[in-house]
Amino acid sequence: MRPGVAVFVRKLVDYMAPFTEPARHERFRFRRDWLRAEFGRVNDPRSPDVGVALTLDLPAEHLFTHRVWLGMVGLLCQLDAEVPVGPVLRDHLPGFE
């Protein structure tokens, strides 16, 4: 968060939903229509979620990881891939439940 800016936790959770949605499923199908809808939602200037985006301040050292994640999601959507997200996260992120 940018210093001195307050945001409601629920709004932050809603804004971050596209990034966390796959992790809420044992298996997740990455689809173009899902990505298109989520991208439109978080970039719609009429959406209250856009205000949340303006309060975020991604540290430079996390930018590359963020870009890789978004590129991977885009590729999986192009492939219409169904991925066993739950098992992969549990295998590679100790403590992930």
Asked if 41 and 47 touch (Cβ cutoff 8 Å), the reply is yes
Establish if 3 belongs to a structural domain.
no
Establish if 4 belongs to a structural domain.
no
pLDDT at 93 over 70: yes
Which domain range does residue 61 map to? 9-92
Establish if 56 belongs to a structural domain.
yes
Establish if 1 belongs to a structural domain.
no
For 22-50, the pLDDT digits (tens) are: 999 999 999 999 999 988 887 788 877 77
Establish if 31 belongs to a structural domain.
yes
pTM over 0.75: yes
**How many domains, in total, are found in the chain?**
1
Establish if 97 belongs to a structural domain.
no
To the nearest 10°, the Cα dihedral for 16, 44, 8, 11?
A: -50
Establish if 41 belongs to a structural domain.
yes
